[in-house]
Structure 1
Amino acid sequence: KREMRATINLVDLAGSERAAKTGATGDKLKEGANINKSLSALGAVINALAENSKGKKKVFIPYRNSKLTRVLQESLGGNSVTIMVAAISPAAYNYDETLSTLQYADRAKAIQLKAKKNEQLTEVGKLKKEIDELKAMLAAAQAGGGGGG
């Protein structure tokens, strides 16, 4: 028997607002800076994956530059289907953030992955496969006159 395996990651990348707009101070400001640093690292990974999808020369993909990109490595560049939903605002006040989000999404859509089924043989399936292989070897030996006597 074959066993199918799949993983789903749902990630909310909110929080990339400009510090001046939020009025954050202290720990909130530090947290916002860390979020922006992770999003910047994610942007670098997305750019590298998009470049590699163009098929010209291979670019190094900096997954190890942040915890976020390490966690998302399989979802971004592995055997996966990746969907990005961009939440934007029609308000002129949020123009810069909306533009940045749309540019981010545009780069992400350039990534081309080829997902395939993650099938693994169960223990019973492995044993059945081994039996089939042994039967084939026995039949081949008998057909070749492997009697030796």
Structure 2
Amino acid sequence: MNEVWDVLQTGSNARAVEATNANEHSSQSHYIHCVMVKGENLMNGECTRSKLWLVDLAGSERVAKMDVQGDCLKEAQNINRSLSALGDVISALATKSLHIPFRNSKPTHLLQDSLGGDSKTLMFVQISPSENDLSETLCSLNFASRVRGIELGPAKNNWTSASF
């Protein structure tokens, strides 16, 4: 447990944060960690493997509202592009498109196996109660509504014999 906590803390410490007009501690990067878990049934030797992704996506903020320049502006634009790419993946999954554009961003490419068929996905959306953030809140809730409509199908057990 301490090892997992140390890795999470290292990632958190490396996360870029910038003060903007919209948020005093605006995330300027996504936070993505993978925890690989392997369990073994000592009675019959079967092994189960699981992958748990802990993902905190930097929020989309209106660039004009943030009033940022330079590197902070570039990061905000990159974040918005990657969130847009995630939206494209969600739309393609929802319409059961033959092509899902996982490779259009690093986060969607990295999370491809967890956004696809053999997984369970749980998403929390943080919204603001402030009237000043109404447009961002509505955008986040609309996105969450689109995500909620996607059915990935049943997750499959990922197990092997002891010779794994």
How does the TM-score come out when normalised to structure 2?
Answer: 0.69
Q: Which runs of 4+ in 1 moved over 3 A?
A: none
Q: 1:92 aligns with which of 131, 149, 155?
A: 131
Structure 1 distance, partners of 2:69, 2:59, is 15
1:121 equivalent in alignment to 2:138: no
SS of residue matched to 2:47:
strand
Q: Which structure has the larger Rg? A: 1
- The code of the aligned residue for 2:51 comes to T
- The code of the aligned residue for 1:75 comes to S
Return the offset for 1:112.
Answer: 1.0
Correspondence list, 1:6-85, <5 A: 6-52=50-96, 58-85=97-124
Q: Is the 8 A contact 1:63 1:69 kept in 2?
A: yes
Say which structure is richer in strand.
2
Percent of aligned positions that are identical: 51
SS of residue matched to 1:122:
coil
**Which of structures 1 and 2 has the larger relative contact order (alpha carbons within 8 angstroms, sep 6+)?**
1
Q: Is the 8 A contact 1:81 1:115 kept in 2?
A: yes
SS of residue matched to 1:112:
coil
Q: Please, which runs of 5 or more residues in structure 1 have no aligned partner?
A: 53-57, 127-149
1:25-71 deviation digits (Å, cap 9, x = unpaired): 1000000100100000000000111111xxxxx44110011111101
Q: Please, which runs of 5 or more residues in structure 2 have no aligned partner?
A: 1-44
SS of residue matched to 1:11:
strand
Q: Is the 8 A contact 1:51 1:59 kept in 2?
A: no
Q: Is the 8 A contact 1:38 1:68 kept in 2?
A: yes
- The code of the aligned residue for 1:33 comes to Q
Say which structure is richer in helix.
1
